[in-house]
A and B are shown apart, each in its own frame.
Chain A
Amino acid sequence: MANAALDPHAAIATTASGVGSGLLTTEDGKPLARALVRSQRRARKRAFLLVLPLLAFILVTFVVPIGQMLTRSFHNDGFSANMPQVSAWFAETERGTPPDEAAWTALATDLVASADARSIGVVGTRINYDMPGTRSLFTSTGRQVRGGMEPPYQANLLEINEDWGDPRLWSVMREASTPLTANFYLASMDRTRDETGAIQQVEEQQRIYATLFWRTFWLSAVITALTFILGFPIAHLLATLPMRKSNLLMILVLLPFWTSLLVRTTSWMVLLQQQGVVNDILVWLGVIGGGQRLQMIYNQTGTIIAMTHILLPFMILPLYSVMRTINPTYVRAARSLGATSWTAFRRVYFPQTLPGLGAGAMLVFILAVGYYITPALVGGSSGMLISNMIAQHMTGTLNWSMAAALAALLLGAVLVLYWVYDRLVGVDNLKLG
C-alpha cells in the first residue's frame, strides 16, 4: 500500500513496531490495510442489505411507475402498432410524397383490420391529439368498413369521407407512424407542426401551457417569499423563548400541520368568500360598504393566501431547528463591539440562519410548484396552476401522454432550479432539521 507510508498514524505505528519493511500486518501475517478494507467491505455489504428493502420499495413504487409514465410522453404507438401497413409505406417514402395507390391500399387494409380488432378508437385518438376533429373520421369510417372493403380504395374512402384526402391528415399520420414522437412536448410549449412538419406557435386563443408554467413558478416564488416574511419572526420567537412557552407555541404551529389539507382549504373558503367571515367583519366595521365586498377567493389572491398558510410550517420548522443552535453570545459580542442591533442581525445572526432558510425555501418552493388541490378549490380561473392541467389530462381528457409531457417538463424545470441552487448556495448547506 503506497499511501500507508503517507498516513501519519501508520507511520507512527510502523516506527513503534519497529518493522523495517514499513508494512503493518495482522497477526496471521496479512497486510493490515487489506484486512481493514475487507472488513469494511463486509460492513458495507451488511448495511446495504439493511437498506435493500427500502431500495426495492422505492424502485417498485416510485422509479418504475414514474419512469413508465414519463415514457408515455415521447412514446405512443397508438397509430403505428395498429396501422402496420400504412406505417410501412410512410417508412419507405419521403416526407411530402402524395399518397399513391399502394398507400391507399395499405390504409384501407389497416382500417378494416383495425376496425375488426376494435382498435380503431386508439388510432383515432392518437391522430386527434395532433389534429383535433379527426377522431370521428376514423371511428365512423371504421364502423362502415368493418368486415371488409372493395377496391378502388381511394375512391371508396373519399366517398365515405372526403377528409381522407386532406394533406394535413396524411402529414399527421406520417408523424404518428413511428412510436417515438416529440409532439406532446411541442404541445406542452404551445407549439405545433404545420403540413410541412415545420414547428410553429399555435393560434393565440389556444395558447395556455406556457402561461401556466410561468404563472406556476412566479406564484411559487411569491408564496416562498411570503412564508419567509411570515415564518422568520415566528421561528425566531420559538427559538428564543423559554422551552415551556415555545413548546406551546410550537403546538400552535404544528396543529394546522396535522389537520387535513382539505379542511384547511375549505376553511379558507368560509373565511374569504364574499359572504364570508372576513367580508362580514369589514362590512360590520364600516370599512367597506355592503355592495363592495372584496373578492379574495377564486382568484390568485385566494391561491396565494391559502397556499402560504398551508406551506408555512415547512418554512418555520427548518428555520427553527437552525436558530436553536445559534449561540446568542455571537450577537452579544457583536453588540459589545459597537454594532447596532440591525448590523448585528444582518452581519452576524442572519448569515447563520441561511442553511435553514435555504432548506425551508426549497421545501416550500418545490411543494408549491406541484400543488394541486388548493388551487383547484380556491384558485378560480386566474389562480389555476400547471398541476391542474396535468390532473385534467390524467382524469378528464385521458390524454396520459400529454400529462406525462407536462409533468416531465415540470420535473425538468425543478431539477434545473435545484442545480442552479446548488451552484449558487450549495446543497451541502441545507439543514432540514
Chain B
Amino acid sequence: MKTTLILSTALSGLAFGASAQELNVVSWGGAYEVSQVEAYNKPFTAETGITVNMIAADNPATPLRAQVEAGNVTGDVFDIEVSDAIRLCDEGALVEIDPADLPAAPDGTAAADDFVPGALQDCAVANIVWGTVIAYNTTKFEDGAPTTAADFFDTETYPGQRGLPRNPKRTLYLALIADGADADEVYDLLSTDEGVDRAFAKLDTIKDQTVWWEAGAQPVQLLADGEVTMTTAYNGRVFDAMVAEDQPFEIIWDGQYMDMDMFVIPVDAPNPEAAMEYLKFATDTQRLADQARYIAYGPARMSSASLVGLYQDDETEMAPHMPTSAAALENAVLDDPEFWADHSAELTERFNSWLASS
C-alpha cells in the first residue's frame, strides 16, 4: 500500500522540490498568508539567507497527512489547527518540540510561561489566537444595536436572517451561551445528551432564518450583501471588511469562540534544522507582535501584547481589535481539542441529520 501511495503522490509532489537553501511553509493563503510573509518570512530570509516558499492549502492538515502517509514529505513547516496538531502528534506524524528550545521573552520570562495557556503542545507551537465572533450590520439596527449572544437568537427584537457555519463545533456553543450557559460549562454540557438536546433546541428557534456558510469569506460577503443582518465570522475577516473596506459592521465579543493556529514540523521534513530555525524565529515576541500589524489576530505570547501597535494604515490602533483583549475575553469559549477529537464525528452526524430534517 505504501509504495503505490508514493507512486500517486509523487506526481503531485514533483511540483515543489526543495533545495538546502529553501524552506516550504504550508499555510492558509489569503490575507493571513500575507501577514506571515511580511512579519515572518521577509525578516527570516534577510537574517538567514534561506528562501521561504509559501504554499496555500484549504486546510494544511490535509496535505500534511497525505504526505506523511505517502512517505514523501515536501513541506517543512505546516500551519494547522490545534485539534489537528494534537491528533497528528498522537499519530506520530509530527516532530516533538521542547519549549526550552524556544526563545525567551525580552524580559527573560521562559517561553513555557510566556505563551498563553494551550499554546504549547507536545509537537506544536501556536502563533496566533483567533476568534469566531458575532458581527452585525449597523445600518440594520439603528434603533438599538444587539450586544449579546442571546440577541443573536432574538429575531423579534433584531429582525433579519442569521449566518452560521455549517458545523457543530462553532454553532452548539453559541446556542448554549445564548441560552444562558456560562462559557466555562459549555463542554460539560455538550458531554451530556441533555446539553446537546438543549443546544439543538435553541438552534431550532432560528433554523428557518439561518443561512449556513462554509468558507471564511462567505459570512462577510453575506453581511455586505444584506442577505443576513447578523452572522458569526472569523474576527480577522470582519476587521478587514470594517477597516480596509469601510463596511458598516460591528463585532459582538460576547460568546467568542477562541482557536489557535499552530506551527508544526512533520517527521521526515526535507529540511528539519531550517524548519526548526524558522519556527523559533517566527514565534518570538517581536515577530508575533509584528504580525498583528497586518491582520487582527492575537499573538500567542503574552509578552507580545504590549508591542502590538498600529494597523498597516498607520492610524487604526490594533489592541482593541485583538481577540485576546480584556473585553473580548470576558465571556469567551476556548476551543477544547480533546473534546472535539472524541465527539466531532458523532456531533457532526447529528448536526447534519438535524439540518437535513425539516
Give the B-binding residues of A (Cβ under 8 A).
Answer: 60-61, 64-65, 68, 71, 117-122, 124-125, 128-129, 132-136, 139-140, 142, 205-208, 211-212, 215, 273-276, 298, 376-377, 380-382, 384, 389, 392, 394-399
- Bound: A121/B150 CA distance, A: 38
Judge whether B113 is part of the interface by a CB distance below 8 angstroms.
no
Quick check: A135 and B212 within 8 Å, CB to CB?
no
Cβ–Cβ contact B353 & A60, under 8 A: no
Residues of B within 8 A of A382 (CB): 355-356, 358
Q: How far is the CB of B12 from chain A (nearest CB, A)?
A: 10
Closest partner residue, chain A, to B166 (CB atom): A381
* Cα separation A430 to B352 with both chains bound (whole Å): 38
Majority-rule SS of A interface residues:
helix
**A205 near B354: Cβ-Cβ < 8 Å:** yes
Q: Are B8 and A65 in contact (CB under 8 A)?
A: yes
Q: Are B345 and A205 in contact (CB under 8 A)?
A: no
Which of A124, A275, A396 sits near B225, CB closer than 8 Å? A275
- List chain A residues, Cβ under 8 A from B7: 60, 64
Least Cβ distance of A42 to chain B in Å?
32
Top-5 shortest CB links A-B = A121-B90, A118-B92, A132-B346, A381-B355, A121-B91
Q: Are B4 and A134 in contact (CB under 8 A)?
A: no
B45 at the interface (CB under 8 A from A): no
Range, interface on chain B: 35 or more
Q: A128-B345, A134-B342, A136-B338 given as contacts; is B350 within 8 A of A206 (CB)?
A: yes
A208-B211 in contact (CB<8A) = no
7 contacts between A and B (CB under 8 A): A117-B92, A119-B91, A124-B90, A133-B343, A273-B225, A380-B211, A398-B87
Residues of A within 8 Å of B91, CB to CB, are 118-119, 121-122, 125
Q: Is residue B151 within 8 Å, beta carbon to beta carbon, of the partner chain? A: no
B56 an interface residue at 8 Å Cβ cutoff?
no
Assess whether A212 is in contact with B356, with CB atoms less than 8 Å apart: yes
Find the B residue at minimum CB distance from A66: B8
User: Which residues of chain B have C-beta atoms less than 8 A from A142's C-beta?
Assistant: 90
Note all chain A residues with C-beta closer than 8 A to B358. Answer: 382
User: Is B341 interfacial (CB 8 A cutoff)?
Assistant: yes
Is B73 in the interface zone, CB < 8 Å from A? no
Q: Is B46 located at the chain interface by the 8 A CB criterion?
A: no
Cβ of B170 under 8 Å from chain A = no
Given contacts A117-B92, A380-B211, A398-B65, A60 and B356 within 8 Å (CB-CB): no
Min distance, Cβ A163 to any Cβ of chain B, angstroms = 11
Interface assignment of B185: CB less than 8 Å from any CB of chain A: no
Q: Report the nearest A residue to B92, measured CB to CB.
A: A118
* Cβ–Cβ contact B353 & A207, under 8 A: yes
The residues of A that contact B212 with a CB separation of less than 8 Å are 298, 380-381
Docked Cα-Cα span, A323 to B119, in Å, equals 66
User: Is B62 an interface residue, CB under 8 A from the partner?
Assistant: yes
Give, as a whole number of angstroms, the nearest-CB distance from A59 to chain B: 10
In-complex Cβ contact of B356 among A125, A129, A208, A398 (8 A): A208
- Whether the pair B90, A389 counts as a contact (CB closer than 8 A) is no
B211 and A298: CB pair below 8 A? yes
A136 to B86, CA, bound (A): 11
User: How long is the Cα–Cα vector from A61 to B354 in the complex, in angstroms?
Assistant: 38
Residues of chain B within 8 A of A274, CB atoms compared: 161, 226-227
Shortest CB-to-CB span from B198 to chain A, Å, is 14
Q: Which of B55-95 contact A (CB under 8 A)?
A: 58-59, 61-62, 65, 84, 87-92
Residue ID in chain A nearest B267 by CB atoms: A118
Closest to B348 in A: A397
For window 314-358 of chain B, which residues contact chain A by CB distance below 8 Å?
338, 341-346, 348-350, 352-356, 358
Q: Please measure, in the bound complex, the distance between the C-alpha atom of A133 and the C-alpha atom of B84, giving whole angstroms.
A: 17
In the bound complex, residues from chain B placing their C-beta under 8 Å from that of A60 are 7-8, 11
Nearest neighbor of A72 in chain B, beta-carbon distance: B1
CB B135 to nearest CB in A, in angstroms, measures 17
A396 to chain B, nearest CB (A): 8
Smallest Cβ distance from B154 to chain A, in angstroms?
19
Instruction: Assess whether A205 is in contact with B353, with CB atoms less than 8 Å apart.
Output: yes
Assembly CA distance A205 to B346 (angstroms): 10
In the complex the two chains form, what is the Cα distance from A396 to B352 in whole Å?
14
Per the bound structure, the CA–CA distance linking A22 and B89 in Å amounts to: 80
CA distance A407 to B147 in the complex (A): 45
Closest A residue to B65 by CB, please name it: A398
Give me 13 other A-B pairs in contact (C-beta within 8 A), A64-B8, A273-B225, A384-B352 excluded: A60-B11, A64-B4, A68-B4, A118-B92, A128-B342, A215-B356, A274-B226, A275-B226, A276-B225, A380-B211, A381-B166, A381-B212, A398-B84
Residue of A nearest to B8 (CB): A65
Chain B hits for A298, CB < 8 A: 211-212
A79 vs chain B, min Cβ distance (A): 13
B90: contacting residue among A65, A120, A380, CB under 8 A: A120
Please give me the residue from chain B that is nearest to A122 by CB atom.
B91
CB-CB nearest in chain B for A273: B227
Q: Please give me the residue from chain A that is nearest to B337 by CB atom.
A: A136
Query: Are A384 and B354 closer than 8 Å at their CB atoms?
Result: no
- State A68–B343 Cα separation when bound (angstroms): 28
A211 touches B89 (CB 8 A): no
Taking each of B59, B211, B345, which has the highest tally of chain A beta carbons within 10 Å of its own beta carbon?
B345
| Bound form: Cα–Cα A77–B7 in Å | 21
User: Which chain A residue lies CB-closest to B221?
Assistant: A269
The answer to whether A208 touches B341, judged by C-beta atoms less than 8 angstroms apart, is: no
- On chain A, the residues within 8 Å of B214 by CB distance are 376-377
* CA of A118 to CA of B86, assembled, Å: 12
CA distance A399 to B349 in the complex (A): 13
Q: A389 to B161: give the CA distance in the assembly, Å.
A: 25
User: B5 at interface (Cβ–Cβ under 8 A)?
Assistant: yes
A392–B348 CB distance below 8 A = yes
Q: Assess the B342–A133 pair: CB atoms within 8 A.
A: yes
A206 and B90 contact, CB distance less than 8 A: no
Chain B residues near A61: list those with CB within 8 A. 8, 11
Would B166 and A118 count as touching, CB distance under 8 A? no
Nearest Cβ in chain A — how far from B271, in angstroms? 22
CA distance A139 to B61 in the complex (A): 19
CB distance from A214 to the nearest CB of B (A): 10
